[in-house]
Structure 1
Amino acid sequence: MTAAMDGAPDALELLAGRGRDLLVRIVAAACSDRTLPRMADDLAGLVVRSARALTFCDVYVLDEDERAMEWSGPPVPLGEGDVGWVAAHGRARSHADGRGAALPVHAGNATIAVLDVRSAGPCPPEDVALVAALADLFAPVLWSCRRLRTAQERESAAERFAERAVEAQEAERSRLSREIHDGIAQRLASLGFHLSAAERALPEHHPEALAQIMLSRTLCDLVAAETRAAIGGLRPPVLDDLGLPAALAALAREAGAPSAARVASVPPGAPGPAKPIDVTVTVTGELECALPDHVQTALYRIAQEAVGNSLRHARAGCVDLLLEHDRDRVRLTVRDDGDGFSIRDVFAPGRRPDTYGLRGMAERAELLGGRVAVTSRPGAGTKVEAVIPVRTGPGR
């Protein structure tokens, strides 16, 4: 950038001689909120409009790996052709036919871009000087745009990695769910049939054996219920079969009618659902395309955790789930009328170990570029709001 700034006074003087309108266009382009490749296109158009004989201008920008120059066509490796030579050596070079030149754009000691200009006839020296002046003036702008593009590409790569990680995790959960369903669950069902057969075949004068068989049947039924709950926790089939709204409806039905297995899992003395809880689900809006599987899964897990917290801790009588689809994002809100809590106290260091669920919801959303906000206060219920962006179109 130093070289560009050192050349800026001469560049401004030269450009000022072309008239006030040119300076206005330069300021408008340099100050516009544009990113690559739009800024490169604006600079190319500015060059052609400002010069007297130039008919074409292409702007090549150094890629993140610093091995090639990128533009609207195929990348040009450093050292290849006039543009690649200028990028590698940092010096201007005229085209062999005399109808244009390739000029470097410097940031410090590095060449970050090349302006390749063409004219119908011999290229006037004053036009080459104009392009060199614009290159000096726009060097800091292109440098900032290039850094922003690199940051955006890295952020996008991180998001794609996170999505793949979530997809791999859910694929493993789905595999475990199928194995439990096809293995343990089926064997438990078979065991239940055999116990029933043993009960019918046992003579009536063996009350102790009959009692043991009945106890075994009860334990078998309890384990079967816990197994079904584990399968649903790993990967609810309705999520794959019917999608997120139906899965949330199934979650609401399950929460509104606590099973014996869930009641049995509540430790003695712990707060639990003393009466039936009213859980409602509302879905609004439509996305251009169906939600990606990993987004549906993340939102279902967040809803599952939020509703579970309402059942386990809040002593709520009513829980409302609202799923809102927008063009480029989806919002899930879970609100209950339970006891509520102090956000500051719950997240105070070393105060409570049961914040893993809240942190897990936030981390799950953040992996997908979203966020989770928890609002609560004692006696006023709790609201959990998750917002996850959704990329639409071919680049999804």
Structure 2
Amino acid sequence: MNVPDALARRGSDLLVRIVGVACSDRELPRMADELAGLVVRSARTLTFCDVHVLDDDGRFLECAGRPVALGEGDVGWAAAHGRARAHADGRGAAIPVHSGGSVIAVLDVRSAGPCPPEDVELVTALAELFAPVLCSCRRLRAARERERAAERFAERAVEAQEAERSRLSREIHDGIAQRLAGLGFHLSAAERALPEHHPESLAQIMMARSLCELAAAETRAAIGGLRPPVLDDLGLSAALATLAREAGDGPGPSGRPLDVTVTVEGELEDALPDHVQTALYRIAQEAVGNSLRHASASCVDLLLEHFGDRVRLTVADDGVGFSLRDVFAPGGRVRGGRGRRPDSYGLRGMTERAELLGGRVTVTSRPGGGTTVEAVVPIPGRSGPVSAR
């Protein structure tokens, strides 16, 4: 009996049910469960069906129960040899599902009594129809696993970077910062011990103290920049607010205070993963730093937007702008022979951070027209195609 005959005996409603299951939006193992239920409902005597799907490495057949190794039992034998195998008690069989000449799954069916040949023929026919459905499910499963592996790699990479930053922060705090504190103490002691009739020596000591205090302040700023505690304690929004407040303290390069604002739109059901928050903070930190160092800007606007499957960070300033062609030109040298743009490394770094997480960074600028940096990063587990909304 051929496949169409075996299916035709069950009527057209069986084909309708098969199409319905095949078109349903389900992934493994739910699709396997749906197909198993369809087999039991379609046969006359079958009371049980398990759909065992071969893993991507071709070593195990996965099911709701214990995985079955290739060659183990009737199911493993059917997968290894590509042929159906009846159970020893005559109450069912293990029937392979073929795709492209290879076994991708096995239908393990059983009945309460002796299994009639027509039910075995029906299951064999169904196995041929299930093949493209299960093949698509296996490809989707492999794609999901690659996506999760990429997310785990990105998370580990960001964690490794931050661990190194934390290590440097501790070493600077316990080493250089303590040495500077000790140096300041000894300079103060020398100033008090110096006789009053040595004004020149006193002036030198006071200048050394001033330089020591400046170095200590820069060291504290470097420690805070390496790993801001607020990011761990309060999250990304608070960290951006702190970054804006610190950037706005004191006069900017133009001599006027820099006006930095932060706007947060949308809400997340769950907090962003730590490595995503860290990457976005670093991008914001670099973009704001570029505005401070190079843009001669009077204001910088930070906008953080949460969407269902992604988050977007936009940093825009009203500074002098620059030519993107000059910054990203081969060799990174600007016209006029003035050397490499000091912010070209930072722009590339922001791009690499976003791409590591499957996102992107877009920089828009022109001389005299300000600069806008936009970073769009997918949220792991809910990510779709990265695109601006």
What is the TM-score normalised by the length of structure 2? 0.86
Q: Which residue of 2 aligns with 1:141?
A: 133
Structure 2 distance, partners of 1:215, 1:66, is 73
Q: Which residue of 1 aligns with 2:17?
A: 25
How many residues are matched? 374
Does the C-alpha gap of structure 1 residues 381 and 14 become closer, same or farther in structure 2, counting only changes over 3 Å? farther
Q: Which residue of 2 aligns with 1:124?
A: 116
1:15 to 2:4 alignment: no
- For structure 2, list consecutive stretches of 5 or more residues without a partner in the other structure: 334-339, 383-389
Q: Which residue of 1 aligns with 2:233?
A: 241
Structure 2 distance, partners of 1:211, 1:68, is 80
Deviates more, 1:19-28 or 1:335-344: 335-344
Structure 2 distance, partners of 1:12, 1:375, is 61
Select 1:183's aligned residue among 165, 170, 175: 175
Partner-residue secondary structure (3-state), 1:276: coil
Residue type at the aligned position of 2:284: A
Q: Which residue of 2 aligns with 1:336?
A: 317
Select 2:296's aligned residue among 307, 312, 315: 315
What is the CA distance between 1:381 and its match in structure 2? 3.2
1:373 to 2:365 alignment: no
User: Which aligned segments of 4 or more residues in structure 1 are displaced greater than 6 angstroms?
Assistant: none
**Map of 1:174-253 to 2, 5 A cutoff?**
174-253=166-245
Does the C-alpha gap of structure 1 residues 63 and 302 become closer, same or farther in structure 2, counting only changes over 3 Å? same
Deviation string 1:187-237 (CA, Å, 9 cap, x unpaired) is: 212211221221232122222212221221122122112212221221122
What is the CA distance between 1:68 and its match in structure 2? 0.8
The answer to whether the 8 Å contact 1:273/1:312 transfers is no
The answer to whether the 8 Å contact 2:322/2:366 transfers is yes
The answer to whether the 8 Å contact 2:365/2:372 transfers is yes
What is the CA distance between 1:309 and its match in structure 2? 1.8
1:363 to 2:344 alignment: no
Structure 1 distance, partners of 2:219, 2:106, is 64
- For structure 1, list consecutive stretches of 5 or more residues without a partner in the other structure: 1-6, 264-271
Partner-residue secondary structure (3-state), 1:27: helix
Partner-residue secondary structure (3-state), 2:319: coil
Partner-residue secondary structure (3-state), 1:116: strand
Residue type at the aligned position of 2:198: H
What is the CA distance between 1:238 and its match in structure 2? 2.5
Does the C-alpha gap of structure 1 residues 85 and 390 become closer, same or farther in structure 2, counting only changes over 3 Å? same
The answer to whether the 8 Å contact 2:47/2:110 transfers is yes
Select 2:142's aligned residue among 144, 150, 166: 150
The answer to whether the 8 Å contact 2:6/2:118 transfers is no
Partner-residue secondary structure (3-state), 2:175: helix
What is the CA distance between 1:326 and its match in structure 2? 4.8
The answer to whether the 8 Å contact 2:326/2:332 transfers is yes
The answer to whether the 8 Å contact 1:174/1:235 transfers is yes
1:280 to 2:269 alignment: no
Residue type at the aligned position of 1:374: V
Q: Which residue of 1 aligns with 2:84?
A: 92
Q: Which residue of 2 aligns with 1:44?
A: 36
1:103 to 2:95 alignment: yes
Structure 2 distance, partners of 1:43, 1:347, is 54
Partner-residue secondary structure (3-state), 2:189: helix
Select 2:75's aligned residue among 83, 107, 123: 83
| Aligned sequence identity (%) | 80
Residue type at the aligned position of 2:177: A
The answer to whether the 8 Å contact 2:84/2:95 transfers is yes
What is the TM-score normalised by the length of structure 1? 0.85
The answer to whether the 8 Å contact 1:103/1:114 transfers is yes
The answer to whether the 8 Å contact 1:277/1:316 transfers is yes
Residue type at the aligned position of 1:366: E
Structure 2 distance, partners of 1:284, 1:347, is 32
Structure 1 distance, partners of 2:181, 2:173, is 10
Residue type at the aligned position of 1:64: D
1:305 to 2:297 alignment: no
